[in-house]
Amino acid sequence: MILILETLTALEPSESAHVGYWATHPYHRLNVKDYVDEFCGWKALTDLINIIPVGIQRSFFCTMFQTGGRALEVLLLKKGNFTVMPDERIVKVSDMRLLKRYEKLDSYKDAEGKNRWHTQLLKKTRKTFTIQRREPFTPILERYLEGISQPDAYLFPSPYGHHRKFKKNHSLDKDLLDVNGNIPYSVVWAYLNIREVNRRASRDLKERLGLMRPFKTKAGEIIADEIHLWLHWFRSQRASQLVNDYGFDEMDLLGYFTWDDLRTALRYAKKGWRGLTAKMNKAQVSYS
């Protein structure tokens, strides 16, 4: 799941304490299970990338799709994670950070008597995976990598400082985020960019991306006539594309994304009616 913005609310000038972004930005949740049916196709995806005017933003969303990573996992990527291998016609990706993996330390009961756990974030990485150089977005990624000189440099360094809470939440080592004085952009940066991309998209493009459908609460109440692009959409599109174009099955997806749970693969692997129809059309069937 990921978040979708509904309104913007400014902080009161009198508030001096640091307040998280989402505390003042009400949202509802979108999820892959309910709002992604299939791979939208390379034409629609390319048209989407082409409306992004800023190079670093365009490269970020291409990288999000090609790696299938979560937004923060992509923001933590460095040039050294990528190896272009012309003879094999692939780009190899190694040691990409894998977040949202926790170790349970102990349990306790809260004030209401509910079971709770103390956990710690594990320093995990994905298994090595590859990107085909023949894919439409790989030249964008390779040109972007060529513009970065140091292997340990972030792909998407931020010119801004981050609050210490950001560093605490996303660092296992004291100086993990700070590389030669650079820190990557935050997920809020990525979120605001995807919202701007959504505003730029035409109605026709949104239709082809599968966005022209009612946005509902779990209770079925309609919030809006259409849904918006959200960051996890790219992750689901990559999984669906791997199934659609390369015939990946659930076990292949587990290996590619380093997922532990088969249910995750089932949730992300979508053929949709077009993909299923194409599979039927390819079958050699005798009806006599």
Give the tens place of pLDDT for each residue, 60-96: 999 999 999 999 999 999 999 999 999 999 999 999 9
- What does pTM read for this prediction? 0.78
CATH number at residue 107: 1.10.443.10
Q: Is the pLDDT of residue 169 over 70?
A: no
- Identify the band that residue 16 occupies on the pLDDT scale cut at 50, 70 and 90: very low
Specify the pLDDT at position 263.
Answer: 86
> Residue 245: phi, psi to the nearest 5?
-90, -40
User: Is the residue at 288 inside a domain?
Assistant: no
Q: What are the start-end ranges of the H helices in the chain?
A: 32-35, 42-50, 55-67, 71-75, 138-146, 164-169, 187-200, 203-209, 231-246, 250-257, 262-268, 272-282
User: Is the residue at 109 inside a domain?
Assistant: yes
* Non-local CB neighbours of 244 within 8 Å, separated by 6+ positions: 38, 39, 271, 275
User: Is the residue at 280 inside a domain?
Assistant: no
Specify the pLDDT at position 117.
Answer: 62
- Identify the band that residue 269 occupies on the pLDDT scale cut at 50, 70 and 90: confident
User: Is the residue at 54 inside a domain?
Assistant: yes
Specify the pLDDT at position 87.
Answer: 97
User: Is the residue at 264 inside a domain?
Assistant: yes
Q: Is the pLDDT of residue 24 over 90?
A: no
User: Is the residue at 185 inside a domain?
Assistant: yes
How many folded domains does the chain comprise?
1
* Non-local CB neighbours of 239 within 8 Å, separated by 6+ positions: 68, 248, 253, 257, 265, 268, 269, 270
DSSP 236: H
